[in-house]
Structure 1
Amino acid sequence: MTNRSAFAIVALFVMVSLSGCAAKIHGTVQLVDGGQQPAANESAQGTVVNMMNTTAAVEQASHAVTVDAQGKFESAKDRLRPGTYKVEASRIGYETDTQTVQIGKYTSKKIEFKLKKIQEAKRKTIQGSRSDEDKIINPGEVNIQPPTM
């Protein structure tokens, strides 16, 4: 009876230990200016981090989380399956950054993203034009007005 009890205790300990070792992708997101300095008065909170398993079935292929107030993110427990993941951090006004990682059954990978601020161009106004070439502009703020005839 004591051998069975000891075995049961060890088995329970192993199961509890492994339950905390599920596959996980976690890390931080920092917003930076063109010179790689932290962006002033900007928080990474709300930045979207997509985790796409390129080797899994479609229904298990994607998982997304948002960054917290401290700039940290973590995949939800039991959402990741072993495979190759493209992890993408994106935020409006910043360049999207993508990294590729291999995840095993009990793998924990830390990723650090530095999203670079997109430099805004001068404000452009597009008025009606006859060709598409006239409509090409630099990225930035745009006002679109209907064509005048």
Structure 2
Amino acid sequence: MPENLPADSELPGVDVFICTADPTKEPVLEVMNTVLSAMSLDYPPEKLSVYLSDDGGATVTLYAIKEACGFARVWVPFCRKYGVKTICPDAFFSSFGDDERLILRGNEFKNEEENIKVIFFNPFYLDDKMFHYYPKEIDVQSESIPKVSIQGN
């Protein structure tokens, strides 16, 4: 029961480790959806760290995590603001998220959802009104999103 949970300040730190090795066997889009889902967990962002270990050291994974971190700057706050339960972006924008999107109706929600959908389906779309350029380094930390780190060979 939620009322039995300790206050955010009393919760322990949580580390989420996501491992990948070969982008041909583990599609990068699915790995990035996993990273974004972990970053969107309903947990205090200052106590949540997400680590991606790429044992194959694939360049495509490095570029994908940079894109995912940029997208997280709008996705994570959107999920928190509206209490989105389908925190995997791929699932949210598919037919699996239809029921939830019907529940979360409202003009403000619809406008934000449309802006995020444009970014999600057009990863090279940059709009200075939505967020600044993608991070130059892989360690990403801000008050609104959890820390993300990547390690590769």
Q: TM-score, normalised by structure 1?
A: 0.25
- Bigger helix share: 2
Higher RCO, Cα 8 Å, sep 6+: 2
Q: TM-score, normalised by structure 2?
A: 0.24
